[in-house]
Structure 1
Amino acid sequence: MPSKRATASHSEYTFVNVDLASTERPRRTTQARAHTARVIRQRQTRDPSTQHATNARPANAVVPEMAGKTSSTSSARILAPAKSSTQSSQSPPITQEDGRSDESPENQHVAQKLPSPRPLSPVFGALTVDAFDAGTSGAAVEAADYCLNIDWPNLLTPEETTVWFQLFCKQPVIFHGFNYASATHGDILRNQVSRSSRRDMLAHKTQCFHLLRDLVANLDDDNVELVLFAVMIMWHYDLRDEEIGDTGSLPFVPHLPGANWLSVYGRTTGVEAHTRPLMNLLDRAGGIGNLKQPGLAFAISCGDLIAASIANEKPGLPLFWKDAPPVEEAANMLHMPPPTSCVGYGFVTLVPGGLPAVAVDALSEMCAVDALLGNARLRCLKARQNKMLVDVRNAAQYRLLSLPSWEELKEDDRTVRSRTAYELCILTAVLYSNAVIFPLPLNTGWHSRLITRIRDTIEHSALSSSSSDTSMLIWSLFIGGIAAYRSHDRAWFEMNLQAALARARIYRWNDAEMLLTAFMWSRVACSMGAAVLWDALDTEYKSRSTSVVAIRSQIAL
C-alpha cells in the first residue's frame, strides 16, 4: 500500500481510485508561516513547560491547544516543524512588506482555513488519504490477502472469487463484513480468540450492522442480494466461546477433512437470530434458485447443510447440488473403478422387516459415495475434479438428512416395517457420515447427541435379545462404540457388542469385518478405531477372537 503521494495527479490504490489533485493542500503564504512561528514563540514564552515539551517533540508534530489559553487560533491544531528555543529567541520580529505587524486580525484565521483531505469513498467512509501513511494499520490489506489466498480458494471458483473481491472493494457493508469474517476465520484456524476480539475488528462488525440496518430500512429489489450477502457473512462468521478450544477427534479417518473448510465452518452453527431474516430475504429474492450473485447460493446452501448435519435435521433449503452426477458417472469421469453393485446390500437383505424404498436408495447412495471417496483419497485431483467429488458428496448428505421421519412414512410402510430398525439405520448412517464422509468438528456436540439417541433406541427395543437382528445391531454397535471412545457410553457399547457377537457366533475379526462391509463401512476410515474396540472385549472372548495386533497387521497388508 503506498504511503506517499505520487507525483502524478491521479493515483490508483488497491481498493479505490483517488484523485489526488483535488486533495492537495494549498501552498501556505509567507504571512501564514510567519503567523505560525509567532504563535509558537508566544506560547513558549508564556509557559516554559510548553517550551520543554515542544523541544521534545519530533519534527512535524501536532501542537494541541493549550488548556486555559484563549486565543483566536486556539481552536485549531497547527502543523509546523518544531523549532529549538535558541532559534525562537534569536528570530527577529516578522513584519509584512507594508510594515504592519503580523498580529493583525485578518491574519489570525489563516491556519483554520486549511482544508482537510477529501474522504475516500465509498469503501473507507470517513478515512482520509492519510490513512495510507506508513504508520497506520494495514488491516484492510491483511483481510483482502487472507480472503484471496486462504479462505475463498478452497470454497469458490476463480470466477466467483473475482466477483466477491469486487464487492469487497465497492460495497462498504461487504468490506466491513469480510474484515470481521477474516479475523474470525483466522481465530478458528489458530484455535484462539485474538483478532476477532480486537477493537478495530469489533468496529468493523458494528459498522456492518449499522449499514445493514440502513439498507433494510430502504430495501428495494436491486439491493436484496447485497443485503442477503451481508446477512450470510454475519450468519456464518459469529464466533462464540464454545467454538474455540481443543475439540479432540473421533477414532475415524475422514476421507476429505478439508473440503470446503468443513473443519472451520463446521464449528460455527450459524446465528439463530440471523436465520429468519436470511429466509425472509431468500423469499423476497424468489428462492435460492433465483440468486444471480455468483457463489452466493452455494455459500448459503453449504451453511444450511452444515447446520442440518449438526442438528440431525432436514435442510431448510431446496437441494442446490441437483446437477451433481450419479456416483457411477462420477467414477468414470475420474477414471476410477465404480462401486460394485452389491455395495450396501445389508440395507436390503439384513434389516429386519426391510426398509422403505426411499431409505434404501439414500443409504445405498451413501455407501457408494463412501467407496468413491475412499478410492479418491490417495489421488491427486484437479480443482474441477475435486469440486465434482464434493458436489456428489453434498448431494448424498442432503438426501440422507432429508429422509422422512417414521410418522411421515406411508401407512403401508409403517405397517410392515420396524420403527426401531428404520430409525437405528438412519441414526447410525448419519453418525458415520458426519465422521467420515461429511466430517464435522466435535465442538458442537453432534456426536454425543447421536450416540445417546442410538443407545436409547437400542435399550428401548427388543433388538438386544433377538438373534435375527444381530447383523444390523452389530454394525450399529461398532459405529457407536468407535464414536464413543473415551466417553461414559463406551463401556455400554462394548458390553452389548460382545453379547451381539456371541449370539451371532462371530469370534474372528475377518468374520466381523465381512458383516460390517455389508452396510456403511470403510476399512481405511474405521479399522484403527475398530481394532481398539475389538481389543477392549473381555479376555475370555478375546481368547477365541483375533487380537488387535493381528487386526493391525491385516490393515498393513
Structure 2
Amino acid sequence: MDVDHTLTLTKGAAAFSGKQCLTYPTKDKTTIVTNTSRNGPKVLAIAQRLPPSFSQPSHVARLGSSQREAFARDLNYARYKVWPKHLNDGDIKKWTVEFYYHPVVAHASQYAVAVHQDLLDNRVSKSSSAEALAHKVCALRLIRTMLSSGTSSDRVHASFSVGLLATHELNDEMMKAMHESNPLPFDALMPPPRELRVLSQLGLMPSHAEAFRFLLGGGMDARHVKNTGQFETWALADLWYSSKDYTAPTCPSPWRVDVSHFSPDPGADVPGVESAQGRGFFAEVSFGLTARALAVLTRLAALNQKMAALASTKGPRHPTWSPHHHAFMVTLNALQHQLLSLPPWDSLEIQERCDSSQEVYECCRLTAVIYSNAALLALAPHTGWHTKLAHTLRLLLEKHEFNSWSGQLSAMLTWSLVVGALAAYRSHDREFFEVALRKQVKKMQLKSWVLLEEVLTNFIWSKKACQHGGAMLWLSIK
C-alpha cells in the first residue's frame, strides 16, 4: 500500500512536478540569523543549539532571503502553534532541529501550518495554494521512499510526518460542514483547550485512518511511532475517529486509569453531584452485562459525576483548563478506549453470552459512547457522528423489539431513549425517539422532568451537560 494513496491529496496537488522538493542534507556550513520582536522569536537561533557534527543542509542554503524568512516564520508557527498539541517541550526542541535538517519534517510541518492557519481564518486559502500543495506532495513522496527503503531513523521521521499530515486535512466541504452544523444539545463538562479543539475538528478522514492502521499494523514498527513523541497524539486522533465511527481503536492505549477519581473527596460539599451515578448498572441491568462491561460503565459514570461536580463549582462559565483537568482527561481517554474495546456481542465468549443479555449489553455500550462523545469528549458535530450513532441506536432498539421491554429494562430503556433523542436533534430519527419516550414516560408515570431525571442519574448523566437539551426534549414529549 502506498502511503500517498492512503493520505488524501487535495485537488490539484497531484499535478505538481516535484521539482521544488527539498533534498537531503549536505555538509555546507552557514548560519541562521536570529531576530526577535514583541511577539517572541521570529527566527529561532537553531544553529547555536545544534551538535557540532551537524552542518547546514543544502536545502536551507539554497533558499533566497524571502524564502528563508518564510521558512523561519513557518518553523516559529509550527513550534508554538502546531506542535504543542502533538508534543511535550522536550520533543518540541528535538523536532525544531529536525525541521531544520530533515526535508520531510519541514514539508509536512509547513503544510500543517497552512491548514492550521486556514482553520483559524475560517476559509480554505493557504492550504490550497501552490506552495502548500508542493509541500504536501513532497512530504508524501519522501514518506513513501523512506518507508520502502529508508533506515530506522528515516522511518521515525516518516512516522512524525504522517502524524502531521493525517491530523491536518482541510477542504471546502469540511469547512462548510463546520459552519453549517448545528450545535449539539449537550454542554461539554470540560471543554478541551483550543489546540485540542483544533485537532478534534480536523480529526481523521477514513483514508487517514486507513494509513494509520497500515503503519501500525505492519508498515511501521510501534517503536518508530513512539520515538517521534507523537504516539499519544496518534492514539488520541485514533480514539476520536473510533468514537465517531463506533469501532474498536487501532492504537493501544497510552493512558492509565487514575482510581483516585472514583473516590469521594473527604469532607467535600460540592453542589450538583448526582450521588446515584452508575447505580442503575448494578441494581437494574447487571444481569445483562459482562463483568468487564459493568466495570467500565460504572467507572465512566463515577468519572462523569466528578467532572460534573467540578464544572458546577465554577459557576456558569466552564472551568479553566489546568493540569488537574488534564488528569481527568487522561482517565477519560483510558475509559473511552476500554469502552470502545469491549468486544461486539458476537465476539464474546460463549459463557459470557450465556451469562448476559444481548439487548442490555449492546444498548448500554452504544448509549454510553454517544453520551461520552458529546458531554465528556466534546467531539465536534460537523462530521455528523451524533446522527449516525443515534440512527444505529434506533436500529438496535427496533431489532430487539424494545416496545416489549418492561420491569428491570424500563429504566435503562428510558436512559437510552433520552440520550438518543438528544443526539438525534434536528435529524429524521428525532421523532422516533420522542414518540417512544412519550410512551415510556407514560408507562413509568414520570409526570415531570425532575422525576425523569431521577431515573437518568442512575446511569451516566449530568444535569449540567444536558440541562438545555433536556428541557427542550421535555417540552416536546409532555
Residue pair 2:147, 2:219 contacting (<8 A) in 1 also: no
Report the Cα distance in structure 2 between the residues aligned to 1:210 and 1:409, rounded to whole angstroms: 43
User: Is 1:403 aligned to residue 346 of structure 2?
Assistant: no
User: Residue in 2 aligned with 1:307?
Assistant: 241
User: Residue in 1 aligned with 2:278?
Assistant: 344
User: Is 1:523 aligned to residue 466 of structure 2?
Assistant: no
Deviations, residues 280-317 of structure 1 (Å, cap 9, x unaligned): 54467985367553522112111211111121100012
Distance 1:11 1:179, change over 3 A: closer
Structure 2 counterpart of 1:195, from 109, 120, 126:
126
User: Is 1:425 aligned to residue 355 of structure 2?
Assistant: no
Structure 2 counterpart of 1:374, from 291, 308, 321:
308
Residue pair 1:120, 1:126 contacting (<8 A) in 2 also: no
User: Residue in 1 aligned with 2:152?
Assistant: 221
Report the Cα distance in structure 1 between the residues aligned to 2:47 and 2:146, rounded to whole angstroms: 26
SS of residue matched to 2:158: helix
Report the Cα distance in structure 1 between the residues aligned to 2:241 and 2:33, rounded to whole angstroms: 42
Q: What letter matches 1:455 in structure 2?
A: R
Residue pair 1:347, 1:354 contacting (<8 A) in 2 also: no
Q: What letter matches 1:385 in structure 2?
A: H
User: Is 1:235 aligned to residue 166 of structure 2?
Assistant: yes
User: Is 1:511 aligned to residue 451 of structure 2?
Assistant: yes
* Deviation larger for 338-347 or 214-223: 338-347
Deviations, residues 252-300 of structure 1 (Å, cap 9, x unaligned): 0012333474433233343555555545544679853675535221121
* Deviation larger for 413-422 or 285-294: 285-294
Report the Cα distance in structure 2 between the residues aligned to 1:303 and 1:218, rounded to whole angstroms: 27
User: Residue in 2 aligned with 1:472?
Assistant: 412
Residue pair 1:196, 1:202 contacting (<8 A) in 2 also: yes
CA RMSD of aligned residues (A): 3.2
Report the Cα distance in structure 2 between the residues aligned to 1:383 and 1:347, rounded to whole angstroms: 32
User: Is 1:249 aligned to residue 188 of structure 2?
Assistant: no
Report the Cα distance in structure 2 between the residues aligned to 1:384 and 1:403, rounded to whole angstroms: 29
User: Is 1:359 aligned to residue 293 of structure 2?
Assistant: yes
Of Structure 1 and Structure 2, which has the larger fraction of its residues in helix?
2
Report the Cα distance in structure 2 between the residues aligned to 1:186 and 1:180, rounded to whole angstroms: 10
Distance 1:511 1:196, change over 3 A: same
Report the Cα distance in structure 2 between the residues aligned to 1:255 and 1:493, rounded to whole angstroms: 24
Residue pair 2:186, 2:374 contacting (<8 A) in 1 also: yes
How big is the shift at 1:530? 0.4
Distance 1:200 1:475, change over 3 A: same
How big is the shift at 1:125? 6.5
SS of residue matched to 2:382: coil
User: Residue in 2 aligned with 1:38?
Assistant: none
What TM-score comes out, normalization by structure 2 length? 0.79
Q: What letter matches 2:134 in structure 1?
A: A
Report the Cα distance in structure 1 between the residues aligned to 2:209 and 2:394, rounded to whole angstroms: 32
Report the Cα distance in structure 2 between the residues aligned to 1:287 and 1:235, rounded to whole angstroms: 18
Deviations, residues 385-433 of structure 1 (Å, cap 9, x unaligned): 3332221111111011111110122223322432122111111111101
User: Residue in 2 aligned with 1:79?
Assistant: none
Give 1:38-117 correspondences, 5 Å limit. Answer: none
Quick one: higher RCO (CA 8 Å, sep 6+), 1 or 2?
Answer: 2
SS of residue matched to 1:266: helix
What is the total number of aligned residue pairs between the two structures? Answer: 424
Q: What letter matches 1:201 in structure 2?
A: A
Q: What letter matches 1:344 in structure 2?
A: G
Report the Cα distance in structure 1 between the residues aligned to 2:182 and 2:392, rounded to whole angstroms: 21
Q: What letter matches 1:326 in structure 2?
A: V
Q: What letter matches 1:485 in structure 2?
A: Y
User: Residue in 1 aligned with 2:33?
Assistant: 12
* Deviation larger for 215-224 or 353-362: 215-224
Report the Cα distance in structure 1 between the residues aligned to 2:292 and 2:310, rounded to whole angstroms: 27
Report the Cα distance in structure 2 between the residues aligned to 1:464 and 1:406, rounded to whole angstroms: 21
Report the Cα distance in structure 1 between the residues aligned to 2:282 and 2:369, rounded to whole angstroms: 18
Distance 1:382 1:426, change over 3 A: closer
User: Residue in 2 aligned with 1:325?
Assistant: 258
Q: What letter matches 2:164 in structure 1?
A: I
Distance 1:470 1:382, change over 3 A: closer
Q: What letter matches 2:255 in structure 1?
A: W
Deviations, residues 437-490 of structure 1 (Å, cap 9, x unaligned): 112112222111111111112222232233322211111111111122222222
User: Is 1:128 aligned to residue 64 of structure 2?
Assistant: yes
Report the Cα distance in structure 2 between the residues aligned to 1:330 and 1:363, rounded to whole angstroms: 16
Q: What letter matches 2:290 in structure 1?
A: P
Residue pair 1:228, 1:278 contacting (<8 A) in 2 also: no
How big is the shift at 1:501? 0.6
User: Residue in 1 aligned with 2:39?
Assistant: none
What TM-score comes out, normalization by structure 1 length? 0.69
Q: Whose radius of gyration is greater, 1 or 2? A: 1
Sequence identity percentage: 30
SS of residue matched to 1:12: coil
User: Residue in 1 aligned with 2:192?
Assistant: 258
Structure 2 residue runs without a partner (length 5+): 1-29, 35-42, 49-54
Residue pair 1:154, 1:260 contacting (<8 A) in 2 also: no
Residue pair 2:367, 2:393 contacting (<8 A) in 1 also: yes
